[in-house]
Amino acid sequence: MPRPSTPLLSRAQIATAALALIDEAGTFTLPGLAKALSVSPSSIYHHFPGGRESIVEAIRGLLAAEGIETEPGGRDWRRFVEDWSRAYREEFARHPRAVPLLTGQVVTDPETLAGYEAVARVLRDAGFRDETLLHAVTILDSFIIGSALDASAPLGVWADSPDPGSALGSAIRAARNEPARSSERSFEIGLRIILDGLGAIASAVRQDPIEGRPASAGRPPPTGPPGPAGAG
């Protein structure tokens, strides 16, 4: 039997090639992608009738498949959210230029949604309800995405100051003596602060007998965390 005259092309191959173009140039076009794969644009449309946006979703799927967790297993909410956050940051940090494309459109990739659903479920079990739950997911998401961009940034994020009295300059020089990469440690401290804060909200919700009822039964859940009233 003769082999097909056009190269065999898979969705994963197309998404991988698009990601390589984004890594290199910050973006991709369908003609450029077709050229990189030595195929016609119509072969790409054949696999992605939804066009460019559906290719970006397939890239999201590639990253999710590379290690973003979707099953809590026996872990408590905090441990699962920690593991999910670390994996998510790591994947995004490898492809910083893909980040605005990925955050710029609605998440429809099923594997990625399964990860968020797992996070939402453990947060619900921890005490979060509805809008508060969505805020918790968004806060984690924002911190992870920003930390991924920080992790992919040059080692010295800020130019050192020649002024010996500079508070930033002094902090930068001190950080150079740290053994671990500074951004890694910042991420872990920040994640701990956020999980402490979310834990405090969850336990406040659990201790309120009305909020403790199923979401469908009562008044809307609180949207603000407890804590010092310093914020304006």
Query: Which of the residues 186 through 215 are near a second copy (CB under 8 A)?
Result: 186-199, 215
134 contacts a second copy (rule: CB under 8 A)? yes
54 contacts a second copy (rule: CB under 8 A)? no
Nearer to a second copy, 39 or 87 (CB): 87
Which residue of 101, 127, 205, 211 would you call a contact of a second copy, by CB under 8 A? 101
25 contacts a second copy (rule: CB under 8 A)? yes
Other CB atoms within 10 Å distance of the CB of residue 67: 12
113 contacts a second copy (rule: CB under 8 A)? yes
Q: Is-contact 183 128, C-beta < 8 A?
A: no
26 contacts a second copy (rule: CB under 8 A)? yes
1 contacts a second copy (rule: CB under 8 A)? no
Q: Is 117 left (phi over 0), alpha (psi -120 to 50) or beta?
A: alpha
32 contacts a second copy (rule: CB under 8 A)? no
Other CB atoms within 10 Å distance of the CB of residue 22: 21
Please, which of residues 137-196 interact with a second copy by CB under 8 A?
137-139, 141-147, 149-150, 152-154, 156-159, 161, 166-168, 170-175, 177-178, 182-183, 185-196
Nearer to a second copy, 46 or 176 (CB): 176
Please, which of residues 69-88 interact with a second copy by CB under 8 A?
78-79, 82
Q: Scanning the structure block, which residue is given the tokens 């009233």? A: 229
Residue among 227, 223, 226 nearest 136 (CA): 223
Nearer to a second copy, 9 or 32 (CB): 32
Instruction: Give DSSP secondary structure letters for 166-178.
Output: -HHHHHHHHHTT-
What count of residues does the chain have?
232
| Nearest 10 degrees: Cα torsion 98, 100, 106, 110 | 30
